[in-house]
Amino acid sequence: MKPSGAAEEAEGAEGEREPLNPEASETLGVSATYREFVRRSYLELMSANQHSLHALNWRRLYLSRAKLKASSRTSALLSGFAMVAMVEVQLEDYNYPRELLVAFSACTTVLVAVHLFALMVSTCILPNIEAVSNIHNLNSVNESPHERMHHYIELAWGFSTALGIFLFLTEVVLICWVKFMPIGRISSAKKCCTSAPILASSVAAPTVAAPDNSGWNAALASTVIMVPVGVVFIIFALHFYRSLVGHKTDRHQQELEELNQIKYQLDGEATALQVV
């Protein structure tokens, strides 16, 4: 009788260990699994968002590096041309208009100063960005100074491409006027100064040569050609700037919509977690 009583006591103890409500145990298991799913989804979403943020920072770094490289090459080339034009131009013995000489000197000086400023900014910032871009690590983008120096990079790029090229076109027109204006006038003045031989019978009047406007026509032709080029350049610069601003605005709008979707997803998951 004792063994049977012990068996009954063991079965009673096992019955006490079993849950009184099996459905509640199943609900707890499902809730634990759902919590793990929500946690895993949240971590995956945060990791994807972090990777997209790193990708955006790297894209900005590469864009800043490309702008600085373009600015340095363009500024070095155009400033060298301006200095050569300033040194190699030979002023003839001609009564130049004072406004032309002042405009030529001021335009050349401003052109060289603008390009040298862009070249200085590129030379100072570009090595730091190059050093970071050569490191194959996602977190190394935070060590680059391109975000802090963003305004200087944009200023150098604008000076080198927009303002610098426009000043270079103006410089070409002024050089044409300085170089070609005296050509016909000096030759006609020399012809005018030569007197005809005086005959014994009669006194010959001094010969006056017809004015030669070939140099003035050449300078005017260069101006007529360059003015439409300058207008097209300004229109393209404005159109490109507006298109670039529109593209950036669309990108920011898309990023804001993605952030709103992420927020709604996180709010929905947090609400479901609280309900569970």
pLDDT tens profile 160-206: 988 999 999 999 999 999 988 888 665 555 544 444 444 444 444 44
Q: Which amino acid is at 16?
A: E
Q: For 163, which DSSP code?
A: I
Q: Find where tokens 């920072």 sit.
A: 57
CA dihedral 211, 215, 219, 220 (to 10 degrees): 30
Q: Which amino acid is at 12?
A: G
Q: Find where tokens 């690590």 sit.
A: 137
Beta strand ranges found along the chain (DSSP E): none
d(CA 195, CA 192): 8
Q: Count Cα atoms within 13 angstroms, Cβ side, for 24.
A: 4
Of 176, 171, 175, nearest in space to 230 by CA: 171
Reading the block at residue 93, the tokens are 């013995």
Neighbours of 136 (CB within 10 A): 6
| pLDDT per residue as tens digits for the range 30-44 | 455 655 655 565 555
State the pLDDT at residue 2. 45
Instruction: Answer yes or no: are the C-beta atoms of 155 and 122 closer than 8 Å.
Output: no
Q: Which amino acid is at 123?
A: T
Reading the block at residue 246, the tokens are 């529109």
d(CA 257, CA 94): 68
Q: Can you say whether the dihedral through the CA atoms of 40, 42, 45, 47 is positive or negative? A: negative
State the pLDDT at residue 199. 44
Q: For 160, which DSSP code?
A: I
State the pLDDT at residue 90. 80
d(CA 210, CA 192): 9
Q: Is 40 exposed, middle or buried (0-12, 13-18, 19+ CB in 10 A)?
A: exposed
State the pLDDT at residue 118. 93
The residue ranges of the chain whose pLDDT is under 50 are 1-4, 6-30, 191-206, 208
Element (H, E) at 164: helix 164-180
Q: For 145, which DSSP code?
A: T
> What crossing angle do the helices spanning 164-180 and 214-275 adopt, rounded to 10°?
180
